Structure 1
Amino acid sequence: MTDKEGKVTVSRLFDAPAKEVFKVLSNPANHARLDGSGMVRADEKSDRITGVGQVFTMNMFLEKLGGDYQTDNHVVGYDVNKLLAWKTADSGQEPAGWQWVWELVAESPDCTRVTLTYDWSQVRDKDVLGRISFPLVHAHQLEGSLGKLAEMVAGPHHTD
């Protein structure tokens, strides 16, 4: 669903404990496999996310942004088995105002509602707004990410 205030949010129920979902999400090495947009290529040897203030770097590709580039992702929300959120920035820059938020709600010991929000409501820089046509990622792509996450969590050999 696209929010007129600069957000796209999707949600899905998973037949998996929140700790298993969180384990996959908190490892940036998994993010390329999770990406429904096709932009994330690989992490730049990042450590597992363990708290607010960490920065992890991703190798990206998008033709309309000039091809290959890197992003630094500043962790702004972290609650074990419940929340992961980061603000994205061009490599070496401060975040420009958009963020990714993963929320996990354990509905039972083996069932978790996962909500993914792409939020660009805080982007104010006119250069960024002129360069990027928001939303850069759409609901169907976020739903694709949830589908990929479901496959990874259900699979017996996901990357820790």
Structure 2
Amino acid sequence: MTDEKKITVQRSIDAPAKEIFEVLSNPERHAEIDGSGMIVSDHKTDRISAVGQVFTMNMHAEHRGGDYQTDNHVVGYDENKLLAWKTAPAGEEPKGVQWVYELTPNGADSTDVSLTYDWSAVTDKEVLKRVSFPLVEEEALEATLAKLASVVAS
């Protein structure tokens, strides 16, 4: 589902929420499940375990001129249910882009997973002038959930 300033995709994954959350809360695994192709690797981050943590990712995108890093500020954490962060260029405060994973058990061995890419809180005029949202298309988000399903199935 796409609205004017956010995109949400959903998928049922044949795995318990705990197994899915295990992958999502480990930044070392994010490049493995990234459907956008922009995540290169984790930058020595511990497992996500609480709101307030910051994890850094090594990224690559032509629209950014190649390699760069992002700092991801954890703003939502509910073990096996919710993981959310606001992203920003490394060393900067977030400007309003947020990523949210929500997990809802659907039986013992199945979980409904939704992924939301939300830029509705971006109000910085310079950012809005410089960036053409969405930077990540719905198809890339769907690919992320497909890769997540594949990773937890193996």
Q: TM-score range, shorter-chain basis? A: over 0.9
SS of equivalent to 1:124: coil
The amino acid of 1:23's aligned partner reads E
Instruction: Tell me what 2:144 maps to.
Output: 145
| Structure 1 gap ranges (5+) | 156-160
The amino acid of 2:125's aligned partner reads K
Distance 2:66 2:123 in 1: 24
The amino acid of 2:142's aligned partner reads E
After superposition, the C-alpha distances for 1:38-90 in whole angstroms (9 at most, x for unaligned) are 11000101000000000000001111111110000000000000000000011
| Structure 2 gap ranges (5+) | none
Distance 2:77 2:40 in 1: 24
Instruction: Tell me what 2:130 maps to.
Output: 131
SS of equivalent to 1:94: coil
1:3 aligns with 2:10: no
Distance 2:106 2:36 in 1: 28
The amino acid of 1:9's aligned partner reads T
Instruction: Tell me what 1:31 maps to.
Output: 30
Q: CA deviation at 1:108?
A: 1.0
Q: CA deviation at 1:107?
A: 1.2
Distance 2:48 2:115 in 1: 17
Percent identity between the aligned chains?
A: 66
Distance 1:69 1:132 in 2: 16
Distance 2:128 2:64 in 1: 13
SS of equivalent to 2:68: strand
Instruction: Tell me what 1:158 maps to.
Output: none
Distance 2:71 2:129 in 1: 21
Distance 2:93 2:53 in 1: 13
Q: Which runs of 4+ in 1 moved over 3 A?
A: none
After superposition, the C-alpha distances for 1:93-148 in whole angstroms (9 at most, x for unaligned) are 00000100000000111110000000000000011111211000011000000010
- Superposition TM-score, scaled by structure 2 size: 0.99
Distance 1:31 1:126 in 2: 30
Distance 1:12 1:112 in 2: 8
SS of equivalent to 1:141: helix
- Superposition TM-score, scaled by structure 1 size: 0.95
Matches within 5 A, 1:1-160: 1-4=1-4, 6-155=5-154
Distance 1:104 1:55 in 2: 21
